[in-house]
Amino acid sequence: MSERALRGTRLGATSYETDRGIDLAPRQTVEYACQNGHRFEVPFSVEAEIPPVWECRFCGQEAALLDGDEPEEKKVKPTRTHWDMLMERRTREELEEVLAERLAVLRSGGMNLAVHPRDTRKSA
């Protein structure tokens, strides 16, 4: 019998529950506006902390809270490059010394760059 009762409906597509007899949590509606002039409302719980920015429903840009405080600018750390990290470990004088040592090894022929040391193939 239960199979016949659901015949012709798409399961999960339609809810048959009603809101009758249910007390919803208290809500407040907050309005946002983006730079493109789109305005929209978002419902929040009365107890919720209202975010100063929200993604615009129409264009996806950042929308600001109307009649609200400006969002605080987050401190952004500058990007650390490989050179910055190297300079944290060594001084310029140490780097020049290491460079001079490596150049001396290359110039003396101590390293053969033509053949890789792991290359085990025999030349024919």
Q: Give the confidence band of 112 by pLDDT, cuts at 50, 70, 90.
A: low
Q: Establish whether 38 is an annotated binding residue.
A: yes
Q: Establish whether 56 is an annotated binding residue.
A: yes
Question: Can you give the pLDDT at residue 118?
Answer: 61
Identify the DSSP state of 54.
E
Instruction: Please give the order of strands across the beta sheet that includes 62-65.
Output: 39-45, 27-33, 62-65, 53-55
pLDDT (tens digit per residue) in 12-22: 677 777 878 88
Q: Are 74 and 52 in contact (CB under 8 A)?
A: no
Q: Give the confidence band of 4 by pLDDT, cuts at 50, 70, 90.
A: low
d(CA 38, CA 76): 29
pTM of the model: 0.45
d(CA 44, CA 46): 6
Q: Could you tell me where the beta strands, DSSP code E, fall in 46-106?
A: 53-55, 62-65
CB atoms within 10 A of CB 35: 11
Q: Establish whether 34 is an annotated binding residue.
A: yes
Superfamily designation of domain 27-65 = RNA polymerase-binding protein A (2.20.28.270)
d(CA 45, CA 97): 64
What's the mean pLDDT when you consider all of the chain? Answer: 82
d(CA 49, CA 89): 44
Q: Are 13 and 26 in contact (CB under 8 A)?
A: no
pLDDT (tens digit per residue) in 34-43: 999 999 999 9
Q: Show me where the domains of the chain are located.
A: 27-65, 77-111
Q: Is the pLDDT of residue 123 over 70?
A: no
Question: Can you give the pLDDT at residue 124?
Answer: 47
Q: Establish whether 124 is an annotated binding residue.
A: no
